[in-house]
Amino acid sequence: MLTVREPASPVVTPAGECSIVTRGLTKRFRSGQVAVDDLGLAVPRGSVFGFLGPNGSGKTTTIRMLLGLVSPSGGTWELLGAPMPGGLGAVLPRVGAVIEGPAFYPYLSGEANLRRYDAADPAADPRTATARIALALDRVGLAAAARKRYRAYSLGMRQRLAIAVALLTPRELLILDEPTNGLDPQGTREVRTLVREIAAEGTTVFVSSHLLAEVEQMCSHVAVMRAGRLVAQGPIAELRAGEAVRIRVETPDAAAAAAVLGALGLPGVRAGDGEASAELGADAPERICAALVTAGVAVRGLAVQRPSLEDVFVGLTGEGFDVNG
């Protein structure tokens, strides 16, 4: 039975400085299943916000509620400062979204596929279509492959083309559901770089993912979901601050090294096969290394281990998930 600790209250971003705000957002299906339970999100403008959780934790349901595709059972939400669902008509043209990826015609070029999507948008101006399509392709790094057929695109190129659909008109908020899911390492790097570039241009990017390591490399802020409930949210640096920095010693004398670390007053001493570690606190690593050597401990390696997002999640929930995909 998984026990989730209640997280410390995060620093709350004022609603006026947020692109997304939810209060008590809940979705209960007719079967009685609660997919999202009392969700309170605050997504700062201009951030790359990771919406993190294992598959089935309520991420996609939340996104569908935010975009008006699913009606919530309770709670309220705002997009770009406008109360929903009443403001959807005015706000959605300023929001781009990629959910489960759009379908493309394999025998058409990337440019031709974008033309079909743009023509289907009643809010798009056909007089500016050529310029906007060229700009979208350039923003996602596909200008040189604009005339190449979609079936010849790599996985990373296909995902970038999907993002280009969401960027055919200027967007203040971009919502991406599992943008790196199923991609090879090269494709993952391509999408990660693109997300950072889009955010650098001033667009808030809300990224749903079940990959801890990927979110850690891409995002400035994160919210962690578990079984439909919010476990923690805030800047990644602040969430990491709750976990102790440790010093790890590689040595054939693990027991002796652990004794030295304990004698130095370091808390959380652990000894394992070929290594010993402890919480670093305010101690200088060089002082610890000197004490080990003076005590005759053979030191093969010494490393300061700063907490990862995985460490934060495990500390909050007692277990991890899909760290590397």
Q: Tell me the residue type at 131.
A: A
For 169-192, give one letter per residue: b (16+ CB within 10 A) or e: bebbbbbbbbbbbebeeebbebbb
What confidence score (pLDDT) does residue 6 get? 43
Token couple for 111: 């440019």
β-pairing, 74-79 with 18-28?
A: antiparallel
What confidence score (pLDDT) does residue 186 get? 85
Query: Which residues are paired to 92 by β-bridges?
Result: none
Contact (CB, 8 A) for 312 and 241: no
What confidence score (pLDDT) does residue 317 get? 58
Residue 120, classified by CB atoms within 10 Å of its CB into exposed (0-12), middle (13-18) or buried (19+), is exposed
The SS3 call for residue 280 is coil
What confidence score (pLDDT) does residue 11 get? 42
Per-residue pLDDT of the chain (325 residues), as tens digits, is 233 334 434 445 556 689 999 999 999 998 889 999 999 999 999 999 999 888 888 999 999 999 999 999 999 999 999 999 999 999 999 999 998 777 899 999 999 999 999 999 888 899 999 999 999 999 899 999 999 999 999 988 999 999 999 999 989 999 999 888 778 888 888 888 989 999 999 999 999 988 888 888 899 999 988 889 998 899 988 887 767 788 999 999 999 999 999 999 999 899 988 999 998 888 889 999 999 999 999 999 999 988 777 777 766 655 555 544 4
Report d(CA 140, CA 247) in Å as an integer. 41
For residue 299, the number of C-alpha atoms closer than 13 Å in the C-beta half-sphere is: 22
Architecture of the structural domain at 246-317: 2-Layer Sandwich (3.30)
Which residues neighbour 232 within 8 Å (Cβ) at sequence distance 6 or greater? 7, 10, 222, 223, 224, 239, 312, 316
**Torsion over CA: 12, 20, 307, 272 (sign):** positive
Measured from the Cβ of residue 33, the count of other Cβ atoms closer than 10 Å reads: 9
What confidence score (pLDDT) does residue 318 get? 56
- CA 41 to chain CA centroid, Å, is 14
222 phi-psi bin (left φ>0, alpha ψ -120 to 50, beta other) = beta
Domain ranges of the chain: 15-235, 246-317
Do 15-235 and 246-317 agree at the fold level? Answer: no
What confidence score (pLDDT) does residue 181 get? 79
Contact (CB, 8 A) for 281 and 310: no
Nearest to 178 by CA among 209, 153, 206: 209
What confidence score (pLDDT) does residue 189 get? 87
Report d(CA 257, CA 53) in Å as an integer. 37
Among the four given CATH numbers 3.40.950.10, 3.40.47.10, 3.40.50.300, 3.40.640.10, the one describing domain 15-235: 3.40.50.300
Full-prediction pTM beyond 0.75?
A: yes
Report d(CA 210, CA 325) in Å as an integer. 8
